[in-house]
Homo-oligomer: A and B are copies of this chain.
Amino acid sequence: MTLKMDADALNAFLESDFPQVAGQYLVETVDETTLTARLKVEQTHLRPGGTVSGPAMFALADLAIYCAILSRIGPVALAVTTNASIDFMRKPAAGRDLIAQCRVLKLGRVLAVAEALIFSDGGAEPVARCSMTYSIPPK
């Protein structure tokens, strides 16, 4: 499998097509098996007590998985999330960025399935896991 978009191309795509949120995320690495993306945690992502909110983790997983799919099908697609399941397992470390590691499990004609583990930057144990299904529009 040849990737159609590398990390630079994905970051450029986020900046051009998702300017409202692009600054918050960085695709760090992408290869045939894994995409890694970072959420640059800011005040707006925090809950009282200083931990990252559930919706901010969901948004990171959604963006990372979207990028992992685009890395394989290219920027033309209007893929949309149709289903997501997320488990929040541990409290993220305060004052740390979050890192999502994701993996595409199926890339079909109409549906793609991928999963992500989310870590506090530098942490060994995942704070959340997420699986998502994307609907891929007909060409």
A84 touching B82 in the complex, CB below 8 Å, given contacts A55-B59, A62-B54, A126-B105: no
Asked if B20 contacts A43 (CB within 8 A), the reply is yes
**Chain-B contact segment, one of A1-9, A26-34, A128-136:** A128-136
CB-CB under 8 A from A129, the residues of chain B are 105, 113, 115, 131
Q: Is the CB of A110 within 8 A of B113?
A: no
CA distance A82 to B54 in the complex (A): 9
Q: Are A131 and B131 in contact (CB under 8 A)?
A: yes
> How many Å lie between the Cα of A16 and that of B129 in the bound state?
30
B-chain residues with CB within 8 Å of residue A58 when the two chains form the complex: 54-55, 58-59, 84
Interface window among A69-77, A85-93, A94-102: A85-93
> Nearest residue in B to A16 (C-beta to C-beta)?
B48
In the complex the two chains form, what is the Cα distance from A82 to B113 in whole Å? 10
A sample of 11 inter-chain contacts (CB < 8 A) reads A55-B62, A58-B58, A58-B59, A82-B88, A82-B89, A82-B111, A83-B88, A84-B85, A87-B133, A89-B105, A110-B135
